[in-house]
Amino acid sequence: MVTLEKGRYFTRIAETEADLQAAQKLRHLAFFGGDGSALEADVFDRECRHILVHDRQSGSVICCFRFLHLSGGHEIDRSYSAQFYELSALRDFDRPMIELGRFCIHPDWTDPDILRVAWGALTSYVDEAGVEMLFGCSSFEGTDKGHYLDAFAMLRDRHMAPPCWRPKVKSPNVFRFASRLRRKPNLKLAQLRMPPLLRTYLMMGGWVSDHAVVDQKMNTMHVFTGLEIKEIPPARKRLLRAICA
């Protein structure tokens, strides 16, 4: 059950056109700024389901993300990520998987419980649907790779995708950090500059591609990120499921 109430927040699946537009408005505000009236939308919105996190007091949508359910890796080319990464290795994954995307939190809200509640809602769906892998694009804000070299070096040293699932280069504009970087990471700085969503993936045993795609349209650099559910540490699973209780 994706609907979840926890403290001052509750989650639900978008059901109407107004719900979808609320998510698209929040995405535009979070990714591009502005007055909150413009929409950030693409063709994948109609293929995905959207989870909204509301503030109970005001009713406002303060966080959202979308997900695309695939019955297995043979459907991987339907994904948003397949535009940017050559994902043929994942076609052999023969269990249900979901692509998580467009995750954002209202820039005026910083409560860490928002992220926890969002993951709780996702955990409910994963358990109910028997999902065995999460994947998506984890984004670094801006396109200045120099700001994130320690983070990329840490990804290279600790979080490379297994060879059997590793994405290959497809996009024309990439930073091949695994082969180009020679520096030893400053781990404190690496953690500080790691995107929060990616940090959460990594704490659960997630892995990344060996290169980052430079996305000028979104003004980001992103790495393909995967997480096999069976690899999540038991203690972390208990924490996630406790949120759903």
Residue length of the chain: 245
Q: What is the DSSP letter of 183?
A: P
What pTM, to 2 d.p., does this model score?
A: 0.94
Residue 31: pLDDT band with limits 50, 70, 90: very high
**Terminal-residue alpha carbon distance, the chain:** 11
Residue 1: pLDDT band with limits 50, 70, 90: low
Count of helices and strands (H, E) across the chain: 7, 11
The model's pLDDT over 173-201, given as tens digits with 9 standing for 90+, comes to 999 999 999 999 999 999 999 999 999 99
Cα distance between residue 205 and residue 183, in whole Å: 23
Residue 2: pLDDT band with limits 50, 70, 90: low
Residue 160: pLDDT band with limits 50, 70, 90: very high
Say yes or no to pLDDT of 10 above 60: yes
- What pLDDT is stored for residue 39 in this prediction? 97
Residue 244: pLDDT band with limits 50, 70, 90: low
Say yes or no to pLDDT of 69 above 90: yes
Alpha-carbon separation of residue 146 from 17, 143, 149, 179 (angstroms) = 40, 9, 5, 16
Residue 83: pLDDT band with limits 50, 70, 90: very high
What CATH number is associated with residue 224? Answer: 3.40.630.30
Domain count, the chain: 1
Average pLDDT over residues 146-174: 97
8 Å CB contact between 158 and 198:
no
Tokens of 32: 């591009």
Query: Percentage of the chain with pLDDT > 70?
Result: 98
Angle between helices 112-129 and 196-203 (to 10 degrees): 50
Residue 213: pLDDT band with limits 50, 70, 90: very high
CB proximity list for 15: less than 8 A, separation 6 or greater: none
Domain of residue 101: give its range. Answer: 4-244
- What pLDDT is stored for residue 7 in this prediction? 84
Say yes or no to pLDDT of 20 above 60: yes
Please state, rounded to an integer, the average pLDDT across all residues of the chain. Answer: 94
Lowest mean pLDDT among 2-6, 37-41, 209-213: 2-6
Cα distance between residue 64 and residue 9, in whole Å: 12
Residue 241: pLDDT band with limits 50, 70, 90: confident
Say yes or no to pLDDT of 240 above 80: no
- What pLDDT is stored for residue 239 in this prediction? 79
